[in-house]
Amino acid sequence: MLDLLSAPTVALSVSELNEIATTLLDGQLSGLWIAGEVGNLTRASSGHHYFVLKDAHAQIRCAMFKHVVARLPTPLREGAQIEIRGKVGIYAARGEFQIAVQEVRQIGAGVLHIQFEQLKNRLQNEGLFQIERKKSLPEMPQKIGIVTSLAAAALRDVVSTLRRRAPHLTLCVYPTAVQGAGSSQQIAQAIEMANVRREVDVLIVCRGGGSLEDLWAFNEESTVRAISGSQIPIVCGVGHETDFTLSDMAADVRAPTPTAAAELVSPSREQYVQILRQQHLILQKNVQQLYQRHSQTLDDLAQQLQRHHPKQHHMAQRQALNDYQQRLQHAMQHHIQQQWQRLHHHTAHLEAVSPLSVLRRGFAVASDSKGKVVRQAHSLKTGQKLTLRFADDTCQVQVLPQQQQDLFD
């Protein structure tokens, strides 16, 4: 080969040159681990990933084929610090120096796991995760606080879930960064602000899934202590079901996802109906017991009156009986009025979440051509015809191409 390269009369084709270069690189650079930052990440429809691995002074193209992508413990993301091992060679079609990635490992993941365990053990010894510290969630909250980023997909999931289950609830967002430098302090400050204002009944602390590094703000001591010290009950919905943080351990309730957190804090219409039925039964039982108890007392007084013949004693007993009857009547009326007020209170809640009441407040119910209610936007197709039911009438509409909308429109 060297003789071929040194012969001045022999010309190589481009393909031959690339093949020789690949052989040389593979023989000299195989088995090496290379560290750097992921940039220009492209996820092809074929399942392959293409990106550059770079440091402060240079970069190299990388290709990761789908069988390698499928083995990744966490999805590859832009800006991630990783180490790769693969076949270093030349992409013949363009004559570009590249690495065909075969293995990937996260830089510093082992260090983070050690920090996680050390902080968990220290806070556990302080009693921050004890069951006795957990607060119960309110059965019928009126105002829900949400601690997350305004740009987070988790916020949209939580808002849409609360609107669907309990549209009468008032929402209050305490915006904060949920990833990156200083995010832990921001989360802690948002929780502390909510506690100072005391304007919500329960807090949801949430963000979507990610790598250990992405979720690290929820493993920082400042975040964990703020959650543990909150006087307002907190539901933590961070990441996906398999993700677990120290914030989950400190929260009063851990939810597997942000959507599940929204479901936990919002009573459904069926729960309101059940509460109303229970209150009705309690009212019935209390009135019946009160009536029976006082009826027995009246009978006892009447019997005593009959046993005493002296006129003056008879008049005193009669007066006592009249007084007791008046007090009984007043007590019964007062008790019934209190119970009806409780019943009306729950009836008002039930009315607030009834379908017709929701429609009268400007909402509508969408159904397809078969009359089936549409519950998820992603199930719709462009051009599909729908029927919108309002409080007073219905109309026909057609689905247009999806556009980004404001979160609270």
| pLDDT reading at 63 higher than 80 | yes
**How many CB atoms neighbour CB 49 within 10 A?**
22
Q: What is the mean pLDDT of the chain?
A: 82
Q: Give the per-residue pLDDT at 220.
A: 94
Superfamily of domain 111-265: Response regulator (3.40.50.2300)
β-pair partners for 64: 49
Q: Give the per-residue pLDDT at 1.
A: 47
**Stated pTM of the model:** 0.49
Q: For the segment 241-294, what is each residue's pLDDT rounded down to a tens digit?
A: 888 899 999 999 999 999 999 999 987 666 666 777 787 788 778 877 877 787
**Averaged pLDDT, 1-9:** 53
Terminal CA-CA length for the chain? 70
Instruction: Name residues whose C-beta falls within 8 Å of residue 84's C-beta, 6 or more positions apart in sequence.
Output: 33, 34, 36, 53, 62, 99, 101, 103, 104
Q: Give the per-residue pLDDT at 144.
A: 96
**Averaged pLDDT, 119-141:** 93
Out of 118-122, 207-211, 354-358, 391-395, which region has the weakest mean confidence (pLDDT)? 354-358
Q: Give the per-residue pLDDT at 306.
A: 66
Query: What does residue 324 show for φ and ψ, rounded to 5 degrees?
Result: -65, -40
**Averaged pLDDT, 80-96:** 85
| pLDDT reading at 309 higher than 60 | no
- What tokens appear for 402 in the block? 């999806």
Under the banding of pLDDT at 50, 70 and 90, the label for residue 346 is low
Residue spans per domain, the chain: 2-107, 111-265, 273-358, 364-398
Torsion of CA 365, 370, 375, 379, to 10 degrees: -130
Under the banding of pLDDT at 50, 70 and 90, the label for residue 105 is confident
Q: Give the per-residue pLDDT at 154.
A: 93
Q: What percent of the chain stands above pLDDT 90?
A: 36
Highest-scoring range by mean pLDDT, 11-25, 91-105, 240-254? 240-254
- In this structure, which CATH number among 2.40.40.20, 3.60.70.12, 2.40.50.140, 3.40.640.10 belongs to the domain 2-107? 2.40.50.140
Q: Whose CA is closest to 255, among 169, 180, 161?
A: 161
Q: Give the per-residue pLDDT at 352.
A: 63
Q: For the segment 28-61, what is each residue's pLDDT rounded down to a tens digit?
A: 777 788 888 888 899 999 999 999 999 888 899 9
Q: For the segment 183-209, what is each residue's pLDDT rounded down to a tens digit?
A: 999 999 999 999 999 999 999 999 998
